[in-house]
């Protein structure tokens, strides 16, 4: 069975060296709630919220694309 996850807003904590989930931060990074890896981003369109996390394979409940 595929794990479930969602794309969440986060900020990078320099002291800890990792992303921290922060839903109130609307201008930070978007990461997978399952593996905490950053979503794919490109310079023209920003973050791409794919239906599956490219890092851990979790099925995302809030992707930009239908399954």
pTM here is: 0.81
Residues 6-49: pLDDT tens digits?
Answer: 999 999 999 999 999 999 988 888 999 999 998 887 778 777 78
Distance from C-alpha of 3 to C-alpha of 16, rounded to nearest angstrom? 26
Q: Which pair of structure tokens corresponds to residue 30? A: 């978007």
Q: How confident is the model at residue 52 (pLDDT cuts 50, 70, 90)?
A: very high
In the predicted model, is pLDDT for residue 1 greater than 70? Answer: no
Beta pairing partners, 58: none
* Residue 47 contacts residue 54 (beta carbons within 8 Å): no
Residues 55-67: pLDDT tens digits?
Answer: 999 999 998 776 5
Pick the closest to residue 37 from 52, 26, 15 (CA basis). 52
Distance of CA 55 to the CA centre of its chain: 10
Residue 67, pLDDT score: 54
Distance from C-alpha of 52 to C-alpha of 13, rounded to nearest angstrom? 25
């Amino acid at each position: 069975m595929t794990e479930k996850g969602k794309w969440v807003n986060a900020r990078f904590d320099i002291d800890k060296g990792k992303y921290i989930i922060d839903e109130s931060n609307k201008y930070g990074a978007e990461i997978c709630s399952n593996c905490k890896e950053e979503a794919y981003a490109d310079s023209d369109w920003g973050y791409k919220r794919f239906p599956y996390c490219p890092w851990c394979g979790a099925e995302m409940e809030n992707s930009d694309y239908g399954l």
